[in-house]
Amino acid sequence: MGIDEYQTARAMQRKRLEALQAKRDRASRSLETSARSQLLRDSWEDLGIIVGESWDVLSVQARRDIIELVIDQIVVDPAKRARMPARERVRIRWR
């Protein structure tokens, strides 16, 4: 094998290696993003359970105080058609 053939084969192997490394890096980022998303979903569900349990213990006035801290305004539009879903009629402006 001559030097030219060696250099060509080496360059081809480097290109393959770089392509595989790029593929590995994309897969790694995708896996990391997926794991973070799952962790966030799990944490959110856990927080919902904790808050739900604590919420039941609070007085009505304490609940109202907390709601006033996070919600600035709730606007309920009249239904434009029969059986209009609430999510289309209610707008919440957060603080």
What are the tens digits of pLDDT across the range 10-64?
999 999 999 999 999 999 999 999 999 999 899 888 888 888 888 888 899 998 8
Q: How far apart are CA 88 and CA 78, in angstroms?
A: 10
Assessment of whether the complete model's pTM goes beyond 0.85: no
DSSP tag of 5? H
Range of the domain at 72: 59-95
Structure tokens at 10: 């080496």
- 39/71 same-domain check: no
- 51/67 same-domain check: no
